[in-house]
Structure 1
Amino acid sequence: MNDFFRESMFAGVTLSLVAYLIGTLLKKKFKLGIFNPLLISIVVSIVVLVVGKVDYYTYNEGAKYLSWLLTPATVCLAIPLYEQWGLLLKNFKAVMLGLVAGTITSLTTVLALALICGLSHEEYVTLLPKSITTAIGMGVSEELGGYVTITVAVIIITGVLGNIFGELICKIFKIDEPISRGLAFGASSHAIGTAKALEIGEVEGAMSSLAIAVSGILTVALSSLYANFM
């Protein structure tokens, strides 16, 4: 099967899309957070690659075309924000303070856990961009000297966990305000969390989209400072 993936230009893309489709169908059928399409697609892809003895680089040669769509897809999240522009201006100060608090909390949590677990500097900076979108996080990790491939995995895991448990956490802590919920999803679990926010409501989706952009910028600015703490 490794030879098939090497010779076929779009084998990687096909596997990724079919795996995601399986996840989507399971989510629609069972309506459970654990059947997150991205999570299912990751599991299915890994199983196929392991069973078929296909190495990652061979698979990625055919799947890399999907990565080209990552940045445009992130930019398109500005559309729901534009539709709720008036609401943003009305609550501008609260929104900005919330996003600053969320970004600082994320970075400080990584620092604290890195110190507790005795991580090296490279491992520490690898985890710093865990809550921002992959397109930005990869650049941050590379610039700070982290392991970019691990950063990608951590970002995806963070997003999937936010997508699965975000709504439950909001219910536990009785966070009912749409703006607050949207900002929480976007600031903590980037685009994957935003997909869940869009399912919940238009305001949540718009605020989550805003959180992706602002949290990304703040993380880029503050990561260099936090990188010096270890």
Structure 2
Amino acid sequence: MTSTLSFLLLTLTAYWLGCRLRDRTGGHSLAQPVLVAIVLVGGVLLVTGVDYADYRDGTELVSFWLGPATVALAVPLHRQVRRLRGVALPMLVAIPLGAVVSVVTAYTLVRLCGGGDLLATTMAPKAVTTPVSIALSGQQGGLPQVTAVLTVTAGVLGAVAGPAVLTLARIRDRRARGLALGAVSHGIGTSRALAEDETEGAFAGLSMGLTALATSLLLPVLLVLLR
């Protein structure tokens, strides 16, 4: 298993199996296609002894299409644009505030647990969509590769536990649920929100984009203050 085609086939098959498992379990929180695909692909690579760098190079096509796929999230948002009325101002306040809380808590917790500035900086942008978090980590002196792992982990955890936490908190409004999932678990959370409800998914996509923008603007300032 060393060809680009085999790596692409492995990735798509693993994700397809994840979707089938989600459907067969009635949308169980642990049956997230991304989580299932990570486990399956990781297991195959481990068993076959394939180097991850070779797998990554062989799946560049998938990475390339992440950009257009993200842009395509504007389609469900356009269908729900009328529901933006009355929430635009609260949203523009909540998202930057959420970005501040995310960065400050991530950085501070690492330092309180004995981690250095390098690890704390690497952790700080973990709630932003992966391409942006990697870029921000590199610009601020973090470790982009580790940030990528942390970002995917945050996305998976948010997609698995986020809806249940929101339900326990008695947050029923689909717009609010979508905004929360998009802000803390970016693309993976957005895919979960889309599976739950179109309105929820549309607002999750909007939140993901605005959170990335807010964090990009605020992170350099916040790190100066925290350091």
TM (norm. structure 1) is 0.93
Of 96, 102, 118 in structure 1, the residue corresponding to residue 98 of structure 2 is: 102
Amino acid aligned to 2:127: S
Determine the structure 1 residue equivalent to 2:116.
Answer: 120
8 Å CA contact 2:129, 2:208 repeated in 1: yes
Tell me, yes or no, if structure 1 residue 57 matches structure 2 residue 53. Answer: yes
Given the alignment, which residue of 26, 29, 49 partners 2:24?
A: 29
Match of 1:195 in 2: 191
**Offset at residue 162 of structure 1 (A):** 1.0
Matching residue of 2:67: 71
The alpha carbon displacement at 1:86 in A equals 2.4
Question: Does the CA contact (< 8 Å) of 1:38 and 1:160 recur in 2?
Answer: yes
Post-superposition shift, 1:173?
A: 0.8
Q: Given the alignment, which residue of 134, 144, 149 partners 2:130? A: 134
Runs of 4+ residues over 4 Å off in structure 1: none
Alignment match, 1:42: 38
* Aligned counterpart, 2:6: 11
Structure 1 SS opposite 2:165: helix
Tell me which amino acid in the other structure corresponds to 1:29. Answer: R
CA distance in 2, matches of 1:205, 1:30: 21
> Contact between 1:194 and 1:205, CA under 8 Å: does it hold in 2?
yes
Shift of 1:123: 1.2
Q: Any residues of structure 2 matched to 1:130-209 within 5 Å, and which?
A: 130-209=126-205
Instruction: Determine helix, strand or coil for the equivalent of 1:90.
Output: coil
Give the Å deviation of 1:52. 0.7
Q: 1:132–1:188: 8 Å Cα contact kept in structure 2?
A: yes
Selected match of 1:212 from 200, 208, 211: 208
Q: Distance in 1 between matches of 2:5 and 2:58?
A: 5
Give 1:155's aligned amino acid.
Answer: T
AA partner of residue 178 (structure 2): G
Distance of aligned partners of 1:9 and 1:171 in 2 relative to their CA distance in 1, 3 Å threshold: closer
Report the more deviating stretch, 15-24 or 208-217.
Answer: 15-24
Extract unaligned runs of 5+ from structure 1: none
Q: Identify the range of structure 1 (214-223 vs 96-105) with the bigger mean alpha-carbon deviation.
A: 96-105
- For 1:209, the aligned partner's letter is G
* Mapped contact 2:19–2:32 kept (Cα < 8 A): yes
Identical-residue share of aligned pairs (%): 32
Between the aligned partners of 2:121 and 2:210, the Cα distance in structure 1 is 20
**Local SS of the residue matching 1:34:** coil
Aligned-residue offset at 1:11: 2.2
- How far has the Cα of 1:140 moved from its partner? 0.8
Contact persistence 1:98–1:183 (CA under 8 A): no
User: For residues 95 and 124 of structure 2, what CA distance do their matches in structure 1 show?
Assistant: 16
- Shift, 1:215, TM fit: 0.4
CA deviation after TM superposition for structure 1 residue 87, in Å: 2.0
1:112 counterpart SS class: helix
User: Partners of 1:40 and 1:125 in 2: how far apart?
Assistant: 29
Contact 1:126 1:146 in 2 (8 A): yes
Instruction: Name the aligned partner's letter for residue 5 of structure 2.
Output: F
Cα separation, 2, equivalents of 1:163 and 1:19 = 18
